[in-house]
Copies of this chain bind each other. A is one copy, B any other.
Amino acid sequence: MTDCATCVVRNRAICASLNPAELAALGKMGRRQKVRAGQTLLWEGDGAPVVANVLEGVLKLVVSTADGREQIVGVVFPSDFIGRPFGKQSPYCVTAMTDAEVCIFNRGSFEEFAGNHPDLQQKLLRRTLDELDRARHWMMLLGRKSASEKVASFLLEMSERLAGQGCHTDTQAGFELPFGRQQIADILGLTIETTSRQLTKMRADGLLDLPSRREIVINDRAAMEMMAG
């Protein structure tokens, strides 16, 4: 059982559609769970027994081929929803990129609850439509953009999404990525070497600074947008 009153994403997650009584009912079904960086919450092809809201941290959705190649197909932040309601199995695996905390529900119970709460279902629909838009733009990036365009697009999107999280709004230009080079490569459909070379080149061209492994400071946002294509 979860105490929704103290929930940090109370107003941003899909739960925002519920009144106090409804929230209490849903809260009884959910429980908070901590997830360590690297730990996997849901496996690809799994029965997808749970759904969850992200309270804290960042998780990735990964699809793999039989021979071990990986593509990250989604990155989720606090207040985002994870899992696959109304489906037989999870089409991807969900792994924490940082230490994280989620509010977890049995999938069947959640589906039943959702069926009786149209407002919740509408919020979920809106979120899913947004995710679909994002996925489709990402498809354009994967299918048609060059390495430099990919990296530039990625940095711009991340700077926006991280700012949206309210984490590092102080300076809109600089931010800390919640993941390393290999994971950037898995997001962009590149190798780690190509990713690294592109970043190095951008630094050489004065487009950005790399104060530490995971920090990015965009010096020339206009040029970066130009480069993103």
Q: Give the B-binding residues of A (Cβ under 8 A).
A: 61, 63, 65-67, 69-71, 73-74, 84-87, 91-92, 115, 118, 121-122, 124-126, 128-133, 135-140, 142-145, 188-189, 229
Interface of A is mostly: helix
A84 — nearest CB in chain B belongs to which residue? Answer: B129
A130 surroundings in chain B (CB, below 8 A): 87
Separation of A145 and B142 alpha carbons in the complex (Å) = 11
Q: Which of B61, B121, B137, B142 contacts A91 (CB 8 A)?
A: B137
A126 surroundings in chain B (CB, below 8 A): 86
Copy number in this complex? 2
**Could you list some 26 contacts between A and B, CB below 8 A?**
A63-B136, A63-B139, A65-B140, A65-B144, A65-B229, A69-B144, A70-B144, A71-B139, A71-B144, A73-B136, A73-B137, A73-B140, A84-B133, A85-B129, A86-B126, A91-B136, A115-B118, A115-B122, A118-B118, A128-B129, A132-B132, A135-B135, A135-B136, A138-B139, A139-B142, A143-B188
Separation of A91 and B140 alpha carbons in the complex (Å) = 12
A118 — nearest CB in chain B belongs to which residue? Answer: B118
Question: Do A133 and B87 contact each other (CB < 8 Å), given the known contacts A66-B229, A139-B138, A144-B69?
Answer: yes
Closest 8 CB pairs of A and B: A143-B189, A142-B142, A118-B118, A73-B136, A63-B140, A71-B140, A135-B135, A142-B143
Known: A73-B140, A87-B129, A139-B142. 8 other contacts (CB 8 A): A63-B136, A63-B137, A71-B144, A92-B136, A115-B118, A121-B121, A132-B132, A132-B135
A90 — nearest CB in chain B belongs to which residue? Answer: B133
Separation of A131 and B135 alpha carbons in the complex (Å) = 10
In contact, B139 and A86 (Cβ under 8 angstroms): no
In contact, A136 and B87 (Cβ under 8 angstroms): no
Separation of A36 and B104 alpha carbons in the complex (Å) = 48
A136 surroundings in chain B (CB, below 8 A): 61, 63, 73-74, 91-92, 135
